[in-house]
Amino acid sequence: MDTAAAPTLRALIGRPDLRLRAVTAQEDLPEGALDRAVRWVHNSDLADPTPFLADDLVLLTTGTQFSAATDVAAYVARLARRGVLGLGFGSGVHRSGVPEELVEACLAHGLALFEVPYDIPFLAIARAHAEAIAAEAYARRTWALEAQRALAVAALRPRGLEPTLAELSRRLGCWVGMFDASGSPVHQHPAASHDAAEVAPAVSDLLARGGAASRTTESAEQAYTLFTVGRTGHLRGVIAIAATALDPETRAVVTSVIAMAGLALEQSEQLSRARRRLHTQLLGSLLGDDPTLARRVLGSLPHAPVVVALADSARASTAIEWWDRRRAETGTAAFLAEGPDGLTICVSAEDAGAIDDLAAQLGAPVGLSGAWDYGRFSQAHAQAQTALRRSSGPGVTRYADAASGGVLDALATDEARLIAQTRLAPVREHDAASGAELERTLTVWLEHDAGIESAAAALGIHRHTLRSRIAQAGTLLDADLSSFPARAELWAALRTAE
């Protein structure tokens, strides 16, 4: 993480202007003892100053409290228990050099010990450390201001949220990820990272709680801090950072990014709703076979010839989001709009393969038209409707395949079947009552082009029996089956009733 040098004990002892001399070597101290941040520098010659000390400070003393009866080891033990990071001994005030018993006690308790030259006032050390604290605070504030300025510039770029998160990752020097409201990763920097998978369970758990919050979590190798985006009851996602020790300046920068992310997502949703309403209105003009208005408003449309696809409107949001990502990645042009018949998708005929990818993504049926110019858009839309209506499951159903059954199949609606069944009811009732096979007889007869000899042979009956049955059926149906219109209507009823 990008931070200024912290005022540590190592930094304090290493200041050349103070000429402090380390008495205890680094290898004789606990690991990291010299690199802990020093909160303050205090001086005292009390035999037991610990009631007046705070944690993580450096104590300076001239040693006036030490006498032949003083238990130096107990003195150092008290300092170590109180959390004193280091002890500075002012040499030359009451005695020259550092007492040997003090050196041994500091080594025994792992307390850093350094010598202060006679001509260096304790006040100079305290002031030097105070200046270091002020310099660090100024550096952190400067870093925060520069980071927020860079993030604001990134937010103004196209698709500003992603550049903003990339800039945050660069400024913090760690991985940053963005998850949507479903817990799926949508942005992460660096991109080729396993962190998203590591933190995903914690993200899902935080979203399931439904409240605006932050939390820390750990995987086998890394600790993370998570921040929700959005308000309680309407969370829009989570921002995850591969770090846990966030100082106030870093947290302020992250908070500004969370605010920008929430605003960007809110604006994006509003723009998306407005765009969807506009496209719905433009769909009406395209269905009038006139693309002029749509071109004027949108600037361009997929170039003709085009194919039209139709899907369930319940999948509209998923389809639109998927296509927006595809358009950004491949530049594939498309027009998508919601209407009373479902979600309409129009693409150039050469990009029709993308509809198969979309259907696989949706896991739902999609009807697809043939290729047409915009002057026949309404016909293409009607073909897509027919194909969708005849689809038998998830995937793309093409109109060319759906219409291969002919005109009668296209007319076989629920209403047509009801009419056909009503028309044939007298014949079916007669068959049920007498055990006759008038309906099958009529079907075979018409399949043989109303030929008596061939139909009778196919049925295995005499031709006079066949003529008798046809006459009987004509009476029941109140139809002259010697005429072509009556035979055509009967054939349509037999096919549709199936």
Contact present, 28 and 113 (Cβ < 8 Å): no
Q: Give the C-alpha separation, 47 to 233, whole Å.
A: 59
Q: What are phi and psi of 16, to 5 degrees?
A: -65, -25
Contact present, 193 and 169 (Cβ < 8 Å): no
Domains 9-131 and 157-267 agree in fold: no
Q: What is the DSSP letter of 4?
A: P
Q: Within 10 Å of residue 89's Cβ, how many Cβ atoms?
A: 24
Contact present, 196 and 224 (Cβ < 8 Å): no
Residue 216's pLDDT is 87
Q: Give the C-alpha separation, 490 to 446, whole Å.
A: 9
Q: Give the C-alpha separation, 224 to 287, whole Å.
A: 52
Helix (H) or strand (E) holding 44: none
- DSSP 3-state percent helix, strand, coil across the chain (nearest 5): 55, 15, 30
Q: Which residues contact 269 (CB under 8 A, 6 or more apart)?
A: none
Report which residue type is found at 162.
Answer: E
Report which residue type is found at 409.
Answer: D
Helix (H, G, I), strand (E, B) or coil at 95: coil
Tens-digit pLDDT profile for residues 250-285 = 888 888 888 888 777 776 667 777 888 888 889 988
As a CATH number, domain 157-267 is 3.30.450.20
**H helices of 98-210, where?**
100-109, 122-155, 161-172, 195-209
Residue 259's pLDDT is 84
Note every long-range contact of 199-208, with CB atoms under 8 Å and residues 24 or more positions apart, other chains counting. 199/224, 199/226, 199/240, 202/226, 203/179, 203/238, 203/240, 206/238, 207/179, 207/181, 207/182, 207/183, 207/235, 207/237, 207/238
Q: Give the C-alpha separation, 146 to 136, whole Å.
A: 15
As a CATH number, domain 9-131 is 3.40.1390.20
Q: Give the C-alpha separation, 450 to 134, whole Å.
A: 106
State how beta strands 342-348 and 335-339 pair: antiparallel
Helix (H, G, I), strand (E, B) or coil at 216: strand
Q: Give the C-alpha separation, 9 to 37, whole Å.
A: 7
Taking the domains of the chain in order of start, what are their residue ranges? 9-131, 157-267, 287-403, 414-497
Residue 4's pLDDT is 42
Contact present, 345 and 339 (Cβ < 8 Å): no
Q: Which of 229, 185, 235, 179 is nearest to 210 (CA)?
A: 235
Is the Cα torsion angle 251, 253, 259, 262 positive or negative in sign? negative
Q: Give the bridge partners for 344, in sequence order.
A: 310, 337
Q: Give the C-alpha separation, 226 to 256, whole Å.
A: 14
Q: Which residues contact 127 (CB under 8 A, 6 or more apart)?
A: none
Residue 118's pLDDT is 94
pLDDT per residue rounded down to tens, the chain (498 residues):
433 445 899 999 999 999 999 999 988 899 888 989 899 999 999 999 999 998 889 999 999 999 888 899 999 999 999 999 999 999 988 888 899 999 999 999 999 999 999 999 999 999 999 999 998 888 888 988 998 898 888 887 777 788 888 888 889 888 998 888 888 888 888 877 788 888 888 888 888 888 888 888 887 778 888 988 887 877 888 888 988 778 888 888 888 888 888 777 776 667 777 888 888 889 988 999 999 999 899 888 999 899 999 988 777 777 887 887 788 788 888 898 888 888 899 999 998 888 988 888 888 889 999 999 999 999 999 999 988 888 878 888 888 876 655 555 556 667 777 887 888 888 888 888 876 688 888 988 888 888 898 888 888 899 888 899 899 888 888 888 888 888 888 888 887 776
Q: How far is CA 314 from CA 133, 338, 339, 342, 365, in A?
A: 59, 10, 11, 8, 12
Q: Which residue's structure tokens are 């209506």?
A: 389
Q: Within 10 Å of residue 347's Cβ, how many Cβ atoms?
A: 25
Q: Which of 71, 72, 81 is nearest to 110 (CA)?
A: 81
Q: Give the C-alpha separation, 45 to 39, whole Å.
A: 20
Q: What is the CA radius of gyration of the chain?
A: 42
Q: Give the C-alpha separation, 469 to 492, whole Å.
A: 19
Contact present, 380 and 400 (Cβ < 8 Å): no
Q: Within 10 Å of residue 387's Cβ, how many Cβ atoms?
A: 26
Residue 13's pLDDT is 93
What is the pTM (predicted TM-score) of this model? 0.50
End-to-end CA distance of the chain: 73
* Order of strands, sheet of 306-311, starting from the edge strand that comes earlier in the sequence: 335-339, 342-348, 306-311, 365-368, 395-398
